[in-house]
């Protein structure tokens, strides 16, 4: 059972909190590269781990992620002018470069050296896989770059989207590793969503599922087995990598999918959705489907990252579809079903009231590993999931004889190998 204290420990992510400090030890996906597509384009507000930041691309194409507020009198630099290698505050014209260094204060003579003393908080950034990642931790602990397969395949093999979710990161992430819900919440969509159909989708509708969790160096794998043909079991194997990455088992010839659950603040998170195929470009049909909110992606309100289907319109629940067994919960779309269900728990689920069962073992293990990693980081040591080797893994769906251990038997399928297709039934 999770106590109130343990729940606070795991869900608070501001500066100085144990989980906040832990997350600040990793590279974090902060925004899509396309949000700041061109040099000197408008700056973009980004909130990560309760910190309000501003991202911009300067005249030379360099990306900066800096404090949102001007050091003069606290105006939001979002109103600023992005020009001549710096962002100029719209109030009195103070100008900052991508490192947050103030490079001009019009009212003060340059010779005074005043502006040299002014520097805004700024975070190192890197663009990988069409995403701007930031590192918000102590400089001496800056880790090697992320090494997830989706960041390394050619651009045409990948589709990335993000959406805001109106709840704490932990309950969103727990939904991502709770494979037990798939046979219920998503059961009708496994027939209708063209990126999920296949033999595996039929086998997944089988509700007699057994769970096994195996701890790995970077996190854990969760194997869920269901009956397959005589003497065999169908295994769906999810990867979870600290601190907030998950990889969903694939279906048939479809691409691989994964998420990162990044806290915006303690009541909201960014659900990053990554789709990639290791060996081929995504087809026009796949891209079109995902852009229209299919697969793990959702349709967004134009100009925002808020889903069209959201809390304010009761997720456009269709009770007739629910009654007619067209939709298990009445919400359309796999990703929005997850979001609706997770947001319904409230901004931060009170875990002291829950009653866990054996299918929640993955969720329990993730909580234990996060707590352990936070304590490791507190001691100044390196937490799990920082070593890039732990990122080079895959999810898999695979049929195995019923007398073998899944983790050993699927070992090769769980490695990300250049030029080798993923194991998928």
Q: Which of 45, 51, 59, 24 is closest to 143 using CA atoms? A: 24
Write b or e for each residue in 405-422: b if 16 or more Cβ atoms lie within 10 A of its Cβ, otherwise e: ebbeebeebbebeeeeeb
Write b or e for each residue in 28-64: b if 16 or more Cβ atoms lie within 10 A of its Cβ, otherwise e: bbbbbeebbeeebeebbebbbbbbebbbbbbeeeebb
Number of shown-chain residues binding ligand FES (CB under 6 A): 9
In the bound state with Fe ion, the residue whose beta carbon lies nearer, of 82 and 246, is: 246
Does residue 338 touch Fe ion according to CB under 5 A? yes
The distance of closest approach from Cβ of residue 68 to ligand FES in the complex, given in angstroms and rounded to an integer, is 12
For 264-290, give the DSSP string: EETTEEEEEEEEE-SSSPPPHHHHHHH
What does 75 interact with, of ligand FES, Fe ion, none (CB < 5 to 8 A by kind)?
A: ligand FES
Count of residues in the chain: 425
Number of other residues whose CB lies within 10 A of the CB of residue 387: 15
The distance of closest approach from Cβ of residue 47 to ligand FES in the complex, given in angstroms and rounded to an integer, is 20
Number of shown-chain residues binding Fe ion (CB under 5 A): 1
Pairing between β-strand 122-123 and β-strand 102-104 as defined by DSSP bridges: unpaired
Does residue 384 touch Fe ion according to CB under 5 A? no
Sheet holding 122-123, edge to edge: 44-48, 51-57, 63-67, 122-123
As a whole number of angstroms, the distance between CA 365 and CA 372 comes to 10
The span of 12-20, 92-100, 130-138, 413-421 binding ligand FES (CB under 6 A) equals 92-100
In sequence order, the 6+-apart residues with CB closer than 8 A to the CB of 71 are: 94, 102, 118, 119, 120
Beta carbons of 373 and 383 less than 8 angstroms apart: yes
The span of 114-122, 314-322, 335-343, 382-390 binding Fe ion (CB under 5 A) equals 335-343
- Cα diameter, the chain: 83
In the bound state with ligand FES, the residue whose beta carbon lies nearer, of 2 and 76, is: 76
As a whole number of angstroms, the distance between CA 188 and CA 81 comes to 50
How many Å is the Cα radius of gyration of the chain? 22
What does 89 interact with, of ligand FES, Fe ion, none (CB < 5 to 8 A by kind)?
A: ligand FES
User: Given the structure tokens 């489907």, which residue do they identify?
Assistant: 289
In the bound state with ligand FES, the residue whose beta carbon lies nearer, of 94 and 315, is: 94
Does residue 193 touch Fe ion according to CB under 5 A? no
In the bound state with ligand FES, the residue whose beta carbon lies nearer, of 92 and 285, is: 92
Among 54, 65, 66, 89, binds ligand FES (CB under 6 A): 89
What does 67 interact with, of ligand FES, Fe ion, none (CB < 5 to 8 A by kind)?
A: none
The span of 87-95, 146-154, 288-296, 337-345 binding Fe ion (CB under 5 A) equals 337-345
The span of 149-157, 160-168, 245-253, 334-342 binding Fe ion (CB under 5 A) equals 334-342
Residues in 78-137 that interact with Fe ion by CB under 5 A: none
Give the N- to C-terminal CA distance of the chain in Å, as an integer.
Answer: 36
Binding mask of the shown chain, residues 48 to 87, with x at each position contacting ligand FES by CB under 6 A: ----------------------x-xx-x------------
Does residue 92 touch ligand FES according to CB under 6 A? yes
Binding mask of the shown chain, residues 93 to 132, with x at each position contacting ligand FES by CB under 6 A: xx--------------------------------------
Binding mask of the shown chain, residues 11 to 50, with x at each position contacting ligand FES by CB under 6 A: ----------------------------------------
Site residues, Fe ion (CB under 5 A): 338
Site residues, ligand FES (CB under 6 A): 70, 72-73, 75, 89, 91-94
């Amino acid at each position: 059972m999770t106590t109130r204290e343990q729940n606070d420990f795991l869900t608070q992510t501001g500066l100085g909190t144990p989980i906040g400090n832990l997350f600040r030890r990793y590279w974090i996906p902060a925004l899509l590269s396309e949000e700041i597509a061109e040099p000197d384009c408008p700056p973009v507000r980004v909130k990560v781990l309760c910190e309000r930041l501003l991202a911009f691309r300067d005249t030379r194409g360099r990306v900066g992620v800096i404090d949102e507020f001007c050091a003069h009198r606290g105006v939001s630099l979002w109103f600023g002018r992005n020009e001549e290698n710096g962002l100029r505050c719209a109030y009195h014209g103070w100008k900052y470069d991508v490192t947050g260094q103030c490079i001009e204060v019009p009212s003060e003579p340059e010779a005074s050296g005043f502006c040299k003393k002014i520097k805004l908080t700024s975070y190192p950034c890197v663009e990988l896989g069409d995403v701007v990642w930031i590192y918000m931790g102590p400089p001496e602990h800056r880790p090697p770059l992320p090494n997830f397969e989706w960041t390394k395949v050619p651009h045409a093999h990948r589709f990335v989207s993000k959406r805001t979710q109106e709840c704490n990161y932990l309950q969103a992430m727990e939904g991502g590793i709770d494979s037990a819900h798939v046979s219920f919440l998503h059961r009708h969509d496994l027939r209708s969503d063209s990126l999920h159909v296949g033999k595996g989708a039929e086998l997944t509708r089988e509700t007699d599922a057994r769970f096994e969790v195996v701890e790995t160096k970077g996190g854990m794998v969760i194997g869920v087995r269901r009956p397959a043909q005589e003497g065999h079991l169908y295994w769906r194997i999810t990867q979870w990598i600290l601190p907030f990455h998950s990889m969903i088992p694939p279906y048939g010839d479809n691409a691989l999918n994964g998420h990162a659950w990044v806290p915006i603040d303690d009541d909201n998170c960014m659900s990053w959705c990554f789709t990639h195929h290791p060996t081929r470009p995504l087809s026009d049909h796949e891209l079109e489907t995902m852009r229209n909110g299919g697969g793990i992606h959702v349709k967004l309100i134009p100009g925002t990252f808020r889903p069209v289907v959201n809390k304010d319109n009761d997720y456009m629940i269709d009770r007739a579809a629910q009654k007619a067994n067209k939709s298990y919960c009445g919400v359309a779309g796999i990703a929005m079903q997850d979001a609706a269900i997770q947001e319904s728990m409230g901004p931060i689920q009170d875990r002291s009231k829950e009653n866990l069962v054996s299918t929640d073992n993955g969720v329990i293990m993730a909580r234990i590993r996060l707590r352990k990693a936070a304590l490791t980081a507190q001691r100044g040591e390196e937490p799990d999931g920082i070593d890039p080797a732990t990122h080079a893994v895959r999810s898999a769906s695979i049929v195995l004889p019923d007398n073998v251990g899944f983790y050993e038997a699927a070992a090769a399928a769980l490695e990300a190998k250049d030029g080798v297709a993923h194991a998928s039934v």
